[in-house]
């Protein structure tokens, strides 16, 4: 136990700058001749490595009539490749003491393995084999079409609030199709997908020049570079994909809608606003405002709405909610909040109580003591999470993909800690007004009449 504590302390110290207030992830970056970007971040405190591959394609890259392709492809990537039979990817990783997964986001799709450090070559081989030779067959496509539909039924359509969040909220908060359609996609589009469609999608987006590979953890840089070249160096690049126009039209006022949810036992509201530009001063300020409202047991929503007024049962919010965090979405984004509340309150009361917390910041600002507490919570939370090899890899990969430079993470963290009470106050006043907000009310569906049709 004592040794484990010392290792964690060493890892945390390595991430903290000499100034003591910033968090820094050391890395080395280079590019292969085929265009694949490689980021290496060495940390020998634990004999573990993380291999993270992030592709520059998410739900917002999908075309009309092809929704759900990004998520479908996340499933297809586990269906085998030239040298890895179907189902064997999991066995290779798990039988060697590792873990793995993949996920689909609005702006990217990612895959990773966390393994003992002496299995770096295996992890790289597995990722390279499916990048070069994914098994795209009619049987695999049909199998995964049904798997995605079943996942939707179980994880979204039959879960409280999920359909409203995944399908209804994007349509309310965005106007451009690229951002407003469902992250999961429609059954109609999934059913219409052909093998040729999927092969074209793979060739277009799953090319080395549209990907970033990150290796984080306990490795020797020279050995890692040799393995990367061996497994990825000869994969052919493809023409760079055309990027969709995600421009949002200006809106003079927010919108409010109400939906019913047969699976919800208690009501909820989603409240959101168009977010400022990524890495702008207001973006940093709103991220800090969100922490003031929600970070920790001493946050304002926890003290005032859950414990004080006892109106809200649970909440979550951030820049990018519900599909992203502040660090991992491209412009345009939103600042969204989800509040589940007690049925003896009306949705208007909950929205007004939440807006009142924001308006109090607009009126009075945030005192220095509270702001310092929030910054301490954020600093500790980030330093703690980055002790994980996979969290370091994800952070570096996301910033390389979205910003072209992993060091922007250091900039973001430093700028966030410089935010003043006046900046938080000004950003709240500018962006989080009642006139600009979108509201989606989620009401439990009334019970079916006794003796009615099933």
For residue 157, what pLDDT band results from cuts at 50, 70 and 90?
confident
Same domain, 337 and 424: yes
Number of domains in the chain: 2
Predicted confidence band of residue 221 (pLDDT cuts 50, 70, 90):
very high
Q: What is the DSSP letter of 23?
A: B
Q: Is residue 16, in this structure, part of any structural domain at all?
A: no
| In-domain check, residue 424 | yes
Q: Is residue 451 part of a domain?
A: no
Mean pLDDT of the chain: 92
Let me know whether 224 and 118 are in one domain.
Answer: yes
pLDDT score, position 324: 86
Give the angle subtended at the CA of 313 by the CAs of 307 and 315, to the nearest 5°: 100
Q: Is residue 451 very low, low, confident or very high in pLDDT (cuts 50, 70, 90)?
A: low
Q: Is residue 137 domain-resident?
A: yes
Residues 3-31: what's their mean pLDDT? Answer: 58
Position 153 scores a pLDDT of: 87
48 and 197 part of one domain: yes
Rounded to 5°, the CA angle 359-360-362 comes to 60
Residues 276, 153, single domain; the answer is no
In this prediction, residues 143-168 reach a mean pLDDT of: 91
Do 262 and 220 fall into the same domain? no
User: Chain-centre distance of CA 59, in angstroms?
Assistant: 12
* Listed residues 173, 197, 232: the one ending a domain: 232
Q: Would you state the pLDDT for residue 450?
A: 58
pLDDT score, position 155 = 83
Share of the chain above pLDDT 70, in %: 93
pLDDT of residue 176: 96
- With respect to residue 246, please indicate whether it lies within any of the assigned structural domains: no
pLDDT given for residue 446 in this prediction: 77
Contact 213, 39 (CB under 8 A): yes
Q: Which of 169, 197, 232 is the last residue of a domain?
A: 232
Q: Clarify whether residues 126 and 170 are in a common domain.
A: yes
Sign of CA dihedral 31, 32, 35, 41: negative
Contact 208, 237 (CB under 8 A): yes
Please report whether residue 146 resides in a domain: yes
The residue among 232, 247, 278 that closes a domain is 232
Cβ neighbors of 138 (< 8 A, separation 6 or more) are 195
pLDDT for 342 beyond 90: yes
Average pLDDT over residues 223-239: 98
CA gap 370, 429 in Å, rounded: 19
Q: Is 9 a residue whose pLDDT tops 60? A: no
pLDDT score for 390:
97
For residue 8, pLDDT over 70 is answered with: no
Query: What is the pairing mode between strands 256-261 and 438-444?
Result: parallel
Q: Is residue 135 part of a domain?
A: yes
Asked whether residue 415 carries a pLDDT value surpassing 90, the answer given is yes
Judge if 79 and 197 occupy the same domain: yes
Residue 366 has pLDDT above 80, yes or no: yes
Pair of tokens at residue 96: 């060697």
pLDDT attached to residue 447: 62
pLDDT of residue 18: 36
Q: Residues 275-317: pLDDT tens digits?
A: 999 999 999 999 999 999 999 899 999 999 999 999 999 999 9
Structure-derived torsion over alpha carbons of residues 318, 324, 325, 326, reported in degrees to the nearest 10:
-90
14 pLDDT exceeds 50?
no
In this structure, the answer to whether residues 227 and 300 fall within a common structural domain is no
Do residues 377 and 435 both lie within one domain? yes
Q: Residue 294: give its domain's CATH number.
A: 3.30.830.10
Task: Give the range of the structural domain holding residue 144, as residue numbers without chain letter.
Answer: 27-232
Q: Mean per-residue pLDDT for 53-81?
A: 95
Instruction: Report pLDDT digits (tens) over 110-126.
Output: 999 999 999 999 999 99
Mean pLDDT of 59-87: 94
Which pLDDT belongs to residue 154? 86
Query: Shortest CA distance to 342 belongs to which of 279, 284, 238, 267?
Result: 267
Residue 266 shares a structural domain with residue 225: no
Average pLDDT over residues 232-245: 96
Considering Cα of 19, then 20, then 22, then 25, what sign does the dihedral take?
positive
Reading the block at residue 199, the tokens are: 């092969």
Does residue 86 sit in the same domain as residue 217? yes
Q: Which residues does residue 53 pair with via DSSP β-bridges, in sequence order?
A: 111, 213
Q: Is 376's pLDDT higher than 60?
A: yes
Are residues 137 and 274 located together in one domain of the fold?
A: no
Residue 319 lies in a domain: yes
């Amino acid at each position: 136990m004592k040794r484990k504590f010392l290792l964690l302390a060493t890892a945390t110290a390595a991430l903290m700058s000499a100034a003591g207030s910033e968090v820094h992830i050391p890395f080395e970056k280079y590019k292969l001749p085929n265009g694949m970007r490689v980021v290496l971040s060495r940390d020998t405190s634990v004999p573990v490595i993380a291999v993270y591959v992030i592709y520059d394609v998410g739900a917002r890259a999908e075309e009309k009539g092809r929704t759900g392709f990004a998520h479908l492809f996340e499933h297809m990537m586990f269906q085998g490749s030239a040298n890895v039979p179907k189902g064997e990817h999991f066995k290779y990783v798990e039988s060697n003491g590792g873990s793995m997964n993949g996920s689909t986001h609005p702006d990217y799709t990612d895959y990773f393995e966390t393994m003992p450090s002496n299995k770096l070559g295996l992890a790289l081989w597995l990722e390279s084999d499916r990048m070069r030779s994914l098994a795209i067959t009619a049987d695999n496509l049909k199998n995964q079409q049904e798997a995605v539909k079943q996942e939707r039924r179980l994880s979204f359509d039959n879960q409280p609030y999920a359909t409203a969040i995944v399908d209804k909220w994007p349509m309310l908060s965005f106007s451009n199709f690229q951002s407003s359609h469902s992250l999961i996609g429609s059954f109609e589009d999934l059913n219409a997908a052909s093998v040729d469609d999927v092969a074209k999608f793979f060739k277009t987006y799953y090319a080395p020049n549209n990907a970033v590979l990150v290796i984080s953890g306990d490795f020797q840089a020279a050995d890692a570079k040799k393995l990367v070249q061996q497994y990825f160096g000869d994969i052919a690049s493809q023409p760079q994909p055309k990027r969709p126009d995600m421009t949002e039209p200006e809106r003079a006022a927010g919108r409010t809608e109400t939906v019913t949810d047969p699976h919800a036992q208690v009501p909820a509201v989603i409240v959101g606003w168009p977010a400022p530009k990524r890495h702008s001063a207001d973006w940093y300020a709103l991220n800090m405002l969100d922490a003031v409202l929600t970070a920790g047991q001493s946050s304002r929503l926890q003290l005032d709405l859950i414990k004080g007024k006892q109106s809200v049962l649970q909440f979550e919010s951030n820049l990018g909610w519900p599909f992203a965090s502040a660090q991992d979405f491209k412009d345009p984004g939103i600042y969204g909040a989800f509040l589940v509340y007690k049925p003896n309150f009306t949705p208007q009361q909950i929205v007004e109580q939440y807006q009142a917390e924001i308006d109090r910041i607009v009126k009075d600002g945030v005192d220095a003591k509270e702001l310092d507490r929030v910054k301490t919570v954020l600093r500790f939370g980030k330093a703690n999470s980055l002790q994980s090899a996979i969290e370091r890899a994800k952070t570096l990969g996301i910033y390389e993909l979205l910003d072209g430079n992993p060091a922007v993470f250091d900039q973001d963290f430093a700028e966030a800690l410089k935010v003043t009470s006046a900046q938080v106050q000004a950003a709240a006043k500018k962006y989080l007004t009642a006139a600009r907000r979108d509201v989606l009310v989620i009401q439990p569906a009334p019970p079916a009449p006794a003796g009615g049709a099933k």
